[in-house]
Structure 1
């Protein structure tokens, strides 16, 4: 194989890449998002400078993706902190737990999504929308919401899904010293909202040493939404280099 082919390969193994080249289109991507108030001191411990916590709000979300070009059928779940960067409001992606290896590998390699292996689910149980996350065989999160109780304005739903997302990209040198340590910003701009609803919601978090979502306790539910979309992820950009 020529050197130029090696350079332009999507990923390793060269003869069977871990994921195909993007962009990735998501059809019928479904969200359950519950925003809640938490302990401000606990939140500030996990949000890196120069991001700023203005209000101690966290979003727990489960995303069901049954039709993703190149990556297939999978589900994700995680937490995002409501933050500000240079006066711009957005969300800092604290963690994501995913049941699909190509989605994990591409998310970490191409961008900076903090993805780990987990067992998330999004499903309807009678009249209740349920989002759950297990890590190994143990429960980490259980979210419930009344199924399509009230319509949610499409613009409000779009705003919730498309606000800027901040992520931390870290890669070491071979001696363990930092090689890349950057704050990344991305934003979804290409989206169609196909349905959006609100309703009563509850969220339980269970303590786990390796999936510490419960370190940000639920003090008050602020809002809940259920959104169905078609979309394409936007590219990331470096907004802060910690090594510069």
Structure 2
């Protein structure tokens, strides 16, 4: 294999790539979103500069992917933090857990999503929408919401999940220093919201040393939504280089 062939390879291992080099299209992507108030000091410990936040809010999400190009169906859960980058409002992706290795590898390598393996699930149980997240055999999150109690404006639902998204792109180098350390930005594109509802909701987070969602404790549930969409994720663009800054 010559230099040109090596540089055309986008993922490893070369003989059996971890994921397909294609843009994923999500069909029937189902969200359970619970926005909650947490401790401001806890947020200050995890939100990277130059991002800032106005209120100590977190959005816990469980996403059930009905069909995804190249990945197939899977489920994902995590935490997103409403932030500002200058004058722009968006969300910082703090943690993501999913049960699909190719989607985990692609999210981390081709983009900058903070993905690790976990066992999330989303189901309807006795008129309640239930989202759970297990890390190994241990439960680390349980979210419940009334199932389709009140219709939600579709435009409001779209605005809720299409805000700009910020992530840290960190690639370790040698000699214990990063080769890449950037704040990057992306946004959902080509979206069609099929249905959206709201209802009363509750969220429990359980302490775990390796899945520390409870480090952002639930103080008050602010809102909840259940949204079904088709969408495409855009590529990422760097907006701040920490190595250049230093």
TM-score interval (norm. to shorter) = over 0.9
Counterpart in 2 of 1:134?
A: 134
Number of residues of Structure 1 aligned to a counterpart in Structure 2: 244
SS in 1 for 2:148: coil
Deviation sequence 1:12-34 (CA, Å, 0-9, x none): 11121100012100000110000
| Conserved 8 A contact 1:36-1:219 | yes
| Conserved 8 A contact 1:108-1:114 | yes
Is 1:31 equivalent to 2:37 in the alignment?
Answer: no
Counterpart in 1 of 2:222?
A: 222
Counterpart in 2 of 1:82?
A: 82
2:75 and 2:123 map into 1 onto residues whose CA distance is: 11
In terms of mean alpha carbon deviation, does 174-183 or 92-101 score higher?
174-183
Q: CA RMSD in A?
A: 0.8
Counterpart in 2 of 1:172?
A: 172
SS in 1 for 2:105: helix
Counterpart in 2 of 1:55?
A: 55
Measured after TM superposition, the shift of residue 187 of structure 1 is 0.5
Gaps of 5+ in 2: none
SS in 1 for 2:204: strand
1:15 and 1:208 map into 2 onto residues whose CA distance is: 37
Counterpart in 2 of 1:73?
A: 73
Counterpart in 2 of 1:11?
A: 11
Off by >4 Å, runs of 4+ in structure 1: none
TM-score by length of 2: 0.97
Gaps of 5+ in 1: none
1:185 and 1:103 map into 2 onto residues whose CA distance is: 19
Deviation sequence 1:13-64 (CA, Å, 0-9, x none): 1121100012100000110000001101111110010000111000000000
Measured after TM superposition, the shift of residue 8 of structure 1 is 1.1
Deviation sequence 1:92-122 (CA, Å, 0-9, x none): 0000001100000000001100001101001
TM-score by length of 1: 0.98
